[in-house]
Amino acid sequence: MAARADRHLLYQRGVQSPHFDAELLQQIYHQARGAKALHFREDFCAGAATLCAWLEQGEAFSGEGCDIDPEVIAWGERHNFAPLGAAARRAKLRVADARAPSLRAPDIRCAFNFSCWIFRERREMLEYFRGARKDLAEGGVFVVDMHGGGEVFGEEEHVTDCGGFDLVVQQSGVRPADHNADLSLHFRFPDGSELRDAFRYRWRIWSMPELADILREAGFADIRVHWCVDQEKCRYEITESGSNDPMWLACLAALK
């Protein structure tokens, strides 16, 4: 089964939750601005599944997705954009660095799946956040997700049953001096086969105060914490404190 597997499809099924993410982004924008966001930009978009879910809201919704990997952009065009038919014309997929400017100023822009953690130096993250703020439409909102808690530095395997395969997340090489670490995603199948190191990353484990401070330095005056209060139902609430769980999920919403 591993030999026949499509790693991009497995990633999309095991890691992403496109329709929920699109709904969450609308909820965050509405809470901030009292209206619906129409134009969306998805950074580090992979196959742009969230962008496709965004377009499915209706004809008024448009967007663009950026990823530096041409292979995954081509995969997304074939497997996610093509089935949308005419609706796909309301969006653009681009092989581009996440720091590249948008084709059109977005109402809301996001970096999900902890993807911006690949910027391991503070100056890199600041450059990215400054560009994102400048890029937003007036009144726009920039959203990054993150996780933390006592288990965030762990190196044990985390296994999730995804129905038909297991997603195995393995962090290793954690460096307390700079919070750099390696992350690998493996996929295991019922026949005992395994697709190891399907995706590998080198990232920095950022804390929430660190990222919030960098967002403020980038020019965002209003930073709101949306805390995941129910991981199974993916329910988020605005908070000023959070809860000291072993592993927590949250979003930082930065308002222009």
CATH, range 151-203: 2.20.25
Q: What pLDDT does 14 receive?
A: 95
Domain parsing of the chain, residue ranges = 7-148+204-255, 151-203
Looking up tokens 């962090």 gives 171
pLDDT tens digits along 70-106: 999 999 999 999 999 999 999 999 999 999 999 999 9
Q: 3.90.400.10, 3.30.9.10, 3.50.50.60, 3.40.50.150: which CATH number matches 7-148+204-255?
A: 3.40.50.150
Mean pLDDT to the nearest integer, 32-58: 97
Contact present, 32 and 99 (Cβ < 8 Å): no
Q: 180 pLDDT band (50/70/90 cuts)?
A: very high
**Spacing of C-alpha 142 from chain mean position:** 12
- Examine the pLDDT at 232 and tell me if it is beyond 80: no
Q: Residue 72's closest CA among 104, 49, 52?
A: 49
204's enclosing H/E stretch is strand 194-204
Of the chain, the end-to-end C-alpha distance in Å amounts to 47
pTM of the model: 0.96
- Examine the pLDDT at 233 and tell me if it is beyond 90: no
Angle at 33 between CA 130 and CA 45, to 5 degrees: 50
